[in-house]
Structures are given as C-alpha cells and as structure tokens.
Copies of this chain bind each other. A is one copy, B any other.
C-alpha cells in the first residue's frame, strides 16, 4: 500500500493550485473586510446595488443564482445595519428599489481602500512583470470560462447531498447545479 499512498499524496497542476490559492485569497479578503463588519457576500450584494441603484430584489436573486427568500434575509441584515435601504418603487409598487445609504457607500469605500494591501499580500514574491503576466493568464481563463468581470461565486448553495442517497456511486447524471 506504499504504492497507493505515494500516488495519492499530491494532486497537482494548475486547476488544483488555482482552487487552493483562490480559496486562500478569498479567506484573507474575508478576514480583512470583517474589520468593516461585512462578509464577502455583503460586499458583493452592496456592489451590485451600487452599480445599479434602484434595482429589485428579484433581479439580484437571479444574478446571484439564489432564491428570492434568500435575498430577503441578506437585505434584511444590510438594512438592519443601515447600509442599504428599501424604497417602494412608485412605478410598480410591488418592487422594492434598493439603494445604498451613506453608511453603505462608506463601507464600500473602506473595502476599496483595503484592496491594494490585499493585492500586495497575495502577490508577495512576484515582481511587477510577473503580476502582469499572472493577471493576463487568469484573465484568459476567466474569459474562456465565461466568468463575468467583478462577479464571483460564493452565493450558490453547497453541493448539498442528502443523507439518504447512500451507496449509489455510479449513476449517470452528475446533477449539475447550474449548466
């Protein structure tokens, strides 16, 4: 079984390194912004509202790939903390038009202010040319994979396997979360 253990020991390659370093970068970012009292999810939602003030919760739910009731909870939290405001849309009074408050804009400014240090921490060990190279290569991947600029996952529910689909390890459909 020494053979087995040797073979199993290290998955490597670009895909794994990406997942590893990406999770690390996301974790450090979460730590940094926690000083501002927000999570990456909060920031993403605030950013989307800032980019298109007045948009509806429904539209956010669709772009986030999340159910409407989930947005209710997220917006509840942000409104309770005074970062976001719901206003009834006079044109269509079913809609809640979302707007950043002054405090919300401040938080976003704070997040922006944190970014350079974060970037430097992640890129420590790379010179300027290497950073550009890396940014370019990652940009190619992001483009090829259809990832929108500025939007990242983390809202989708975890794979979620119920406790009763036991022992069925070889069925055909890999149940793609969203094709």
**Chain A residues near B (Cβ < 8 Å):** 1, 4-5, 7-27, 29-32, 34-39, 46-47, 50-53, 80-82, 100, 105, 107-108, 112, 115, 118-119, 122-126, 130-131, 133-135, 137-145, 147, 149-154, 156, 159, 161, 166-172, 174-177
> How many copies of this chain sit in the oligomeric assembly?
2
Set of chain B residues within 8 Å of A147, measured between Cβ atoms: 20-21, 24
A115 to B13, CA, bound (A): 9
Q: With the chains together, A23 CA to B124 CA distance in Å?
A: 21
B17 with A169: CB separation less than 8 A: no
Kindly identify which residue among B24, B47, B152 contacts A20, using a CB–CB cutoff of 8 Å.
B152
Q: A19-B152, A133-B133 given. 8 additional CB < 8 A pairs?
A: A9-B47, A15-B122, A18-B21, A19-B23, A21-B141, A38-B169, A80-B166, A81-B169
When the two chains form the complex, which single residue of B1, B30, B80, B176 contacts A31, counting CB atoms closer than 8 Å?
A: B176
Given contacts A21-B142, A138-B17, contact A170 B37 (CB under 8 A): yes
5 A-B residue pairings within 8 Å (CB atoms): A21-B145, A21-B147, A34-B174, A35-B172, A122-B141
Given A30-B159, A147-B20, A35 and B174 touching (CB < 8 A)?
Answer: yes
Contact A29 B15 (CB under 8 A): yes
B17 touches A82 (CB 8 A): no
Indicate if the CB atoms of B169 and A23 lie closer than 8 Å: no
